[in-house]
Amino acid sequence: MIALIGPLYQHPKLTIIQADARKWEPPKRAYHFVYFDIWADVPNSDTLKDIAALKQRYRSSLKKHGRTLAWCENYARRR
């Protein structure tokens, strides 16, 4: 997916990181925004719990007023 759409989003302020989101150790206070797009079968019964766990894991990597979002998060909440 990164190879497909990554070139469309090139910008000096954007960094796309390909890693296992559950294992990679993000640097502290490094990002204004973190976006998770790791689910192949959204929504499922574990999606919201998984999103919450990832948001907690990455909280310390956010700069002041930073935020996280996940692919299909709003859709999963409506189900």
Residues 6+ apart with CB under 8 A from 66: 31, 32, 33, 34
Q: Mean per-residue pLDDT for 35-61? A: 83
Residue at 17: amino acid letter: I
Mean pLDDT of the chain: 86
Please state whether 69 falls in left (phi above 0), alpha (psi between -120 and 50) or beta. beta
36, β-bridge pairs: 70
Per-residue pLDDT, 43: 66
Residue 41 pLDDT exceeds 80: no
